[in-house]
Amino acid sequence: MSLKTLPLLFINLGGEMVYILDQRLRAQNIPDEKAKKVLHDIVATMFHQKFVEELFKSQPLYSKKALRTVFDRLAHASIMRLNAASMDKLYDLMTMAFKYQVSLCLRSKDILLITLNHLDAIRKFIEDVPNLKHLVDHVFKLLIETYAPLSNGAFHLIRQTLLNFFQDMHIRVSIFLKDKVQNNNGRFVLTTGGLLPWGCQVPGSIRLFDESGKEAKTASFPSGGNYTIAQKEGSIEMKGDRVTNLGKNMYSISRPVETSRGRTTTTMSDIESSTPDPLARAQLDLLSHLIGNKMETKKMSFRLNLFKTDEEEEKAAVMQPIDPMVAESQVVKIDATKKKKNEELSRIMGELTVEESRSPSGGDDLLELMDSA
């Protein structure tokens, strides 16, 4: 069932990345024109039609290392620059936010509603750009076609796959610590009570049936929490009520977004090999070529800090313990103002002639198509 998990993982993490970058761009008083360009460029690259169609093809879930590399490159698909420490923090916030949402997703099918909440928010960020709205609407169509027909059992397997992917990641986030939904060891606190999943009854009753199937006796027990019954099921229509707040922007109100790495455990799946798995490598290469081919002027480029001050960022870069995920961010070097000195890539770039007016759906080369977006 991991074959159905990758698009959900990618879109939800991408949605969290857009939320966080929007919050930091506003916090650092980046001019509106530059801030919009950053978000628009990232959404255009992330949701390019041909790239998304490749993403939805049947394939195993990427390794942690490969997925991290994808988002390293997506974050630099614009005029914005992040150093290693800020990129680490961005990815930590993204992954822990989605892990928390999946953990609270008591009805596995609600993972689709969480994804649609992310997609709804991204649509608002680019609502004044018709070409980008077309790309987001195409992703919505693929999501509904792919996941709406799935059974509850299939969604349960998807949820378990996502939880297995995140199980070794225990990074403390100040928002969660402040709200007391995360312990100091980085593990989430899941309390009893609250809104019940659609179709569930309030716990606390034991019903006994006779041999004919009729209810013969009812007993009760303390449920240990205050529960509310869901009044309706979340809609999967394009402009429907998702009911759940999971997947919505928790940075819409100005709040600190500090992270710190506590004790984390890693397994061989985290380390794996020094190269991404072969099925992910082609898309990683395409993103690398794309970003290498985006020529922006230096005066338009700016650096974004995910910390409150430059001093905090520098301290984090020095104090950060070396683990496989950090090492990956230090190895990946991306400069969108220069072409890589690679003969094969230079040959490919020399053959490309991308016009700014081209439609995102024109042409056959995925690099060209994504670049024109």
pLDDT tens series, the chain, 373 aa:
445 899 999 999 999 999 999 999 998 888 999 999 999 999 999 998 888 988 898 888 888 888 898 899 888 888 888 888 889 999 999 999 999 999 998 889 999 999 999 999 999 999 889 999 999 999 999 999 999 999 999 999 999 999 999 999 999 988 899 889 999 999 999 888 888 888 888 898 999 999 999 999 999 998 888 888 888 899 999 989 999 999 999 887 645 444 554 544 333 333 333 444 555 566 666 555 544 444 444 445 666 767 666 666 666 666 655 444 444 444 333 344 444 445 555 555 555 444 443 334 333 343 343 344 4
Which tokens in the block code for residue 195? 């809104």
Domain ranges within the chain, ordered by starting residue: 2-191+239-372
Structure tokens at 191: 């309390």
The sign of the torsion formed by the CA atoms of 117, 46, 135, 39 equals positive
The two structure tokens encoding residue 65: 């290392």
The sign one gets for the Cα dihedral 280, 286, 288, 294 is negative
As a whole number of angstroms, the distance between CA 267 and CA 265 comes to 7
Give Cα separations from 354 to 44, 124, 291, 351 (angstroms): 15, 28, 14, 10
Q: Residue 79 has which token pair?
A: 């005029």
Q: Who contacts 226 (Cβ-Cβ below 8 Å, separation ≥6)?
A: 193, 194
Give the whole-angstrom CA distance, residue 117 versus residue 250: 12
CA–CA dist 134, 123 (Å, integer):
10
Alpha carbon distance 137, 327 (integer Å): 36
d(CA 310, CA 314): 6
Question: Can you give the chain as a three-state secondary structure string?
Answer: CHHHCHHHHHHHHHHHHHHHHHHHHHHCCCCHHHHHHHHHHHHHHHCCHHHHHHHCCCCCCCCHHHHHHHHHHHHCCCCEECCHHHHHHHHHHHHHHHHHHHHHCCCCCHHHHHHHHHHHHHHHHCCCCHHHHHHHHHHHHHHHHHHCCCCHHHHHHHHHHHHHHHCCCCEEEHHHHHCCCECCCCCECCCCCEECCCCCCCCCEEEEECCCCCEEEEEECCCCCCEECCCCCCCCCCCCCCCCCCCCCCCCCCCCCCEEECCCCCCHHHHCCCCCCHHHHHHHHHHHHHHHHCCCCHHHCEECCCCCCHHHHHHHHHHCCCCHHHHHHHHCCCCCCCCCCCHHHHHHHHHCCCCCCCCCCCCCCHHHHHHHC
Calpha distance 91→20 (Å, rounded):
10
With vertex at residue 205, the alpha carbon angle to CA 203 and CA 209, rounded to the nearest 5 degrees, is: 130
Query: Which residue type sits at 263?
Result: R
pTM: 0.72
Q: Is 111 exposed, middle or buried (0-12, 13-18, 19+ CB in 10 A)?
A: buried
Q: What is the pLDDT of residue 340?
A: 44
Quote the CA–CA distance of 315 and 323 in Å, as a whole number.
Answer: 17
Candidates 178, 353, 159, 170; CA nearest to 264 is 170
- pLDDT at position 218 is 92
